[in-house]
């Protein structure tokens, strides 16, 4: 299965080493680092730092999608992310993804220098999003989420967790292809923490290989999530060690990209895990 992505001036060979997406929240209220990079100058500096630390993608978001969060206006979201993307894209050579479910925000972000669309709604909340992606010819990240950020954690229930996520992804891929998005430009994210209980999150990570049947690159974002806090009894900003353990589990179980806040630690973590996986792949049976 060829997992290389080539578009415009960018290329990601996802079938080799694990790739890293660095999270850049230009928000005052993110669950993990709200307010830390809210100013344009601090956000740009952080993006440059993550690129130097080993990020392959910088994911810029202007609206918090933590559980029970409220929607942000399109105008406010654009005011937060577009200036940062415009300045950052002139400073780094790696692709920038725009984390949004609003087509107008995505269009403006792409014009400013973004080159990937990361949509937590898998292009369901704004039907024009798929058209924007198709016209731009950029990769899309489709995330599974049960419900919306406002209600996704009220009472998430599944009769068949993995089967329902797979069906969701098949429908999302079909919808994107109908809009003209090339199938090889689609990345799937099972949505850790989005409409899932503690047990659901652990099960998704444990059974990631089930999603490989869809023959698409898998991106997983366990960074600082609540399930780690529940296991360790730690606040979001204290979860680096737990996050790296989750990152290792994701990579061992089939993730091609992991989305993290602490890129420097994650780069070291995946380098070791990738080496272990290469050794296992090279093993020969005696005889």
Helix, coil or strand: residue 53: helix
Choose, from 46, 216, 225, 239, the residue flagged as catalytic: 225
Helix, coil or strand: residue 220: strand
Name the pairing type of β-strands 10-13 and 19-25.
unpaired
Name the pairing type of β-strands 10-13 and 4-7.
antiparallel
Q: Which residues pair with 118 in a beta bridge?
A: 99, 141
Is 225 one of the annotated active-site residues of the chain? yes
Is 259 one of the annotated active-site residues of the chain? yes
Contact (Cβ atoms closer than 8 angstroms) between residue 5 and residue 137:
no
In sequence order, which ranges of the chain are alpha helices (DSSP H)? 40-53, 74-89, 103-112, 129-136, 161-179, 198-206, 226-232, 240-252, 263-281
Residue 112, phi then psi, degrees to nearest 5: -85, -15
Contact (Cβ atoms closer than 8 angstroms) between residue 156 and residue 105:
no
Q: Is 127 left (phi over 0), alpha (psi -120 to 50) or beta?
A: alpha
Closest CA to 92 of 4, 17, 9, 3: 9
Choose, from 234, 259, 264, 278, the residue flagged as catalytic: 259
Token pair recorded at residue 193: 């923490």
For 133, counting Cβ atoms within 10 Å of its Cβ (0-12 exposed, 13-18 middle, 19+ buried), the class is buried
Annotated active-site positions, please? 225, 259
């Amino acid at each position: 299965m060829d997992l290389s992505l080539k578009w415009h001036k960018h290329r990601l060979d996802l079938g080799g080493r694990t790739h890293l997406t660095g999270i850049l929240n230009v928000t005052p209220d993110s669950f993990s680092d709200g307010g830390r990079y809210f100013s344009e100058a601090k956000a740009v500096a952080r993006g440059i730092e993550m690129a130097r630390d080993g990020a392959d993608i910088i994911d810029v978001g202007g609206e918090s999608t933590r559980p029970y969060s409220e929607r942000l206006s399109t105008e406010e979201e654009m005011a937060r992310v577009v200036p940062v993307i415009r300045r950052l894209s002139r400073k780094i050579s790696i692709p920038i993804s725009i984390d949004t479910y609003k087509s107008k925000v995505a269009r403006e972000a792409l014009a400013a220098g973004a080159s990937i669309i990361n949509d937590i709604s898998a292009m369901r909340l704004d039907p024009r999003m798929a058209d924007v992606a198709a016209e731009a010819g950029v990769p899309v990240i489709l995330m599974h989420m049960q419900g919306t950020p406002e209600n996704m954690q009220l009472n998430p229930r599944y009769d068949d967790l993995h089967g329902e996520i797979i069906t969701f992804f098949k429908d999302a891929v079909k919808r994107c292809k109908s809009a003209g998005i090339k199938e090889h430009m689609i990345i799937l994210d099972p949505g850790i923490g989005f409409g899932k209980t503690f047990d659901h999150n652990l099960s998704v990570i444990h059974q990631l290989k089930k999603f490989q049947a869809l023959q698409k690159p898998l991106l997983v974002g366990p960074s600082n999530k609540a399930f780690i806090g529940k296991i360790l009894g730690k606040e979001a900003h204290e979860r680096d060690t737990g996050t790296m353990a989750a990152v290792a589990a994701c990579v061992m179980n089939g993730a091609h990209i992991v989305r993290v806040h602490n890129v420097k630690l994650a780069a070291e973590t995946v380098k070791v895990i990738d080496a272990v996986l290469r050794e296992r792949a090279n093993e020969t049976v005696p005889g």
